[in-house]
Structure 1
Amino acid sequence: METLTIIVNEQFVNERIDKMLSTYYEDWSRTQVQGWIKDGLVLVNNQKVKGNYKCQLHDEIIVSIPEPEILDVKPEKMDLDIYYEDQDVLVVNKPRGMVVHPAPGHMYGTLVNGLMAHCQDLSGINGVLRPGIVHRIDKDTSGLLMVAKNDKAHESLVQQLVNKTVTRKYLAIVHGVIPHDVGTIDAPIGRDPKDRQKMTVTDVNSKEAITHFRVLERFDHYTFIECKLETGRTHQIRVHMKYIGYPLAGDPKYGPKKTLPIEGQALHAGVLGFIHPRTGEYMEFEAPLPPEFENILNLLKNKR
């Protein structure tokens, strides 16, 4: 374990220690530093401190840098629902309950594990944990994802996302009866300062987020809608629908506790369209609602 010693100078007096260290060493993220502080790997004048400790002039900070975790993603044979595949791209229909890519502490059973067993040629732009992954959908959201099989294809697909030319349509069931047939939510999304595990509509450290929606069917206390993404922020549809007062049914993070008998949010990425990186041809794919989603719709229809 490598150890570094830092003496606080005038520049960092009264600076939080977690912010100071992540500024002093640009390769260290603030979250990483906070983890080291909690684990007792950061000492100030030979004493443990908290992340909000304010540095004082001539403080001696000793940082014990842990050995990096070796992350080795293993291929796992899975019965993937592949809609399209060629030498450049692959389109797969992800089931509800499957995580898209591995993360420390969750290295198995993800879509990436299955993709690695299915094909060896995945783009490496997103590193060892996310080979081929151009965009994500949440664990409990089902539906279509595009995967890049080489770096050139990856760059093309990412640029299409930036240019807002990728077609992404989702089907969702929300709480409440939406009175108008169509709508657009244009509200920036960023981290919720009260809960870092959530996103929220905010003007602070946020990014542009635009969701278009139309009503497909109304029920007694719910509405079945289609959402079209213009941007692709984390939890965008879930946050936007909550923001206008119609949170997704089953959403454990943004919705009411008592809801429909479904595990996780009722959200399905049903339509995906993009320009093929090599041929320049526009391609569009559509995946039907999974059975559990259809069952919920039938339940609502029968209750009317």
Structure 2
Amino acid sequence: MKKTLEQDFILKDLLISLFPDSSISTFRKWVKNKRVLIEGKEVTRLDSSLKKGQLFEIVKTSKPLSGNIKIVLETEDFIVLDKPSGILSVDKDHGVEISVHKVLKNYLSPKKVFVVHRLDKGTSGLILFAKTESFYEEAKKQLEERKMKRKYFAILEGELAEDQGEWESWLYEDKNLVMRVSKDEGEGMRALTHFKVINKKNNLSLLAFELETGRKNQIRVQSQFFAYPILGDKKYGSTKKWAKRMFLHAYELHFFCSKKQKTLSFKSPAPELFTNLIPF
């Protein structure tokens, strides 16, 4: 956000007036992480004097956490992150591999961190964690009631004939922990995904997906089942060995915050690898 000051302020008083739901410790983190600017220059103290007419700015992203995980927004109740491809959301059986959850636990220690939803290791983009148990319960309820909106970009192998539509199927997990589409309707978990084709080029299709349900590997297994596997997703049918990653990115996230009494919306631009392959 940017704001031209209409009167003199002490930085701490200005932040309290603009962000009444945030704490002094949060403001200290913003200053420490170089998020607070006056006339384009970093402010280093909460007791700094600000003058009428100066341009005040809070930058949206702070310094990346370890693993190049970026903070999009942090409040007392939750934290929204932008996850790169190649990092787990949550540890696998307490392994030594880096995960977003592990990084967050170190960053917020000794406070707890609650996992609201997950992104697959190869998927990049927006992911939400709760910092309080009350917000965790609120967010999980929104997921269960399908009120939390999550949208993805994906590049698929092949060119779809339809411009938009939906995929509905029933998913189950086999003994090898691979998700499959059931041949019999009603057996397994119902999965519904809406899609829109953005562009097609060189036998590839760029799609925007919106999840109606949130099953494990939902977009990935449905893309394979309908004969358009996600580029780089070798687990679910990709044949292009040259792909440097799985081309699935969580670009939009919407959820309701009861404390603020409004829906919060976040966007993450598609990685450069996507735009280099197909123009948006």
Query: TM-score when scaled to structure 1?
Result: 0.66
Conserved 8 A contact 1:153-1:278: no
**In structure 2, what residue type is equivalent to 1:153?**
F
Supply the distance in 1 between the matched residues of 2:243 and 2:160 (Cα, whole angstroms): 21
Kept after mapping to 1: 8 A contact 2:253/2:265:
yes
Shift of 1:105: 5.7
Deviation at 1:244, TM superposition (A): 1.3
Give deviations 1:58-85, integer Å, cap 9, x for gaps. Answer: xxxxxxxxxxxxxxxxxx9555301111
Partner of 1:96: 85
- Among candidates 240, 257, 268, match of residue 287 of structure 1: 268
1:174 aligns with 2:156: yes
Map of 1:136 onto structure 2: 118
Q: Which amino acid aligns with 1:289?
A: A
Identify if the C-alpha distance between structure 1 residues 292 and 121 changes in structure 2 by more than 3 Å, giving closer, same or farther.
Answer: farther
- Write the distance in 2 (CA, Å) between the matches of 1:296 and 1:79: 23
Q: Which of 243, 262, 266 is equivalent to 2:247?
A: 266
Aligned to 1:246: 228
Query: Could you tell me which amino acid in structure 2 is paired with residue 278 of structure 1?
Result: K
Distance, in Å, in 2 between the alignment partners of 1:78 and 1:221 is 33
Structure 1 pair 122–159 and aligned structure 2 pair: CA distance change class (3 A): farther
In 2, Cα distance between equivalents of 1:260 and 1:222: 14
For the residue of structure 1 that corresponds to 2:273, the secondary structure is helix
How far has the Cα of 1:277 moved from its partner?
Answer: 3.9
The one of 152, 160, 175 aligned to 2:142: 160
1:198 and 2:199 aligned:
no
The aligned runs of 1:27-66 (5 Å cut-off) are none
State whether residues 231 and 243 of structure 2, in contact with CA within 8 Å, keep that contact through their aligned partners in structure 1: no
Residues 89-128 of structure 1: pairs in structure 2 closer than 5 A: 89-104=78-93, 106-120=95-109, 123=112
In structure 2, relative to structure 1, the CA distance for the partners of 1:78 and 1:191 (3 Å cut) is: closer
Matched residue of 2:126: which SS?
Answer: strand
Can you list the C-alpha shifts for 1:21-42, whole angstroms capped at 9, x where unaligned?
A: xxxxxxxxxxxxxxxxxxxxxx
Gaps of 5+ in 1: 1-75, 124-130
Give the Cα–Cα distance (whole angstroms) in 2 for the partners of residues 79 and 166 of structure 1: 26
4+ aligned runs moved over 4 Å, structure 1: 76-79
- Is residue 204 of structure 2 the alignment partner of residue 215 of structure 1? no
Q: CA deviation at 1:262?
A: 1.9
Unaligned runs of 5+ in 2: 1-64
CA distance in 2, matches of 1:243, 1:173: 15
Asked if structure 1 preserves the Cα contact closer than 8 Å seen for 2:78 and 2:128, the reply is yes
Q: Distance in 2 between matches of 1:220 and 1:78?
A: 33
CA contact (8 A) 1:83 1:92 kept: yes
1:122 and 1:277 map into 2 onto residues whose CA distance is 21
Q: Larger Cα Rg: Structure 1 or Structure 2?
A: 1
Question: Aligned to 2:82, what secondary structure does the other structure show?
Answer: strand
C-alpha change, 1:226 and 1:104, in structure 2 (3 Å) is same
2:201·2:278 contact (CA, 8 Å) conserved in 1? Answer: no
Partner of 2:71: 82
Deviations 1:92-125 (A, max 9, x none): 00000001111226234111121112213655xx
Q: 1:78 to 1:199 in 2, by over 3 A?
A: closer
Contact 1:249 1:260 (8 Å CA) reproduced: no
Give the alignment's Cα RMSD to 1 decimal. Answer: 2.1
What letter matches 1:82 in structure 2? I
- 1:205 Cα deviation after fit: 5.5
Normalised to the residue count of structure 2, the TM-score between the two structures is 0.71
Distance (Å, rounded) in 1 between the aligned partners of 2:139 and 2:195:
24
CA contact (8 A) 1:97 1:139 kept: yes
Distance change (3 Å), C-alpha of 1:256 and 1:103: closer
CA distance in 1, matches of 2:87, 2:275: 19
Deviation for aligned residue 1:267? 0.2
Distance 1:119 1:78, change over 3 A: farther
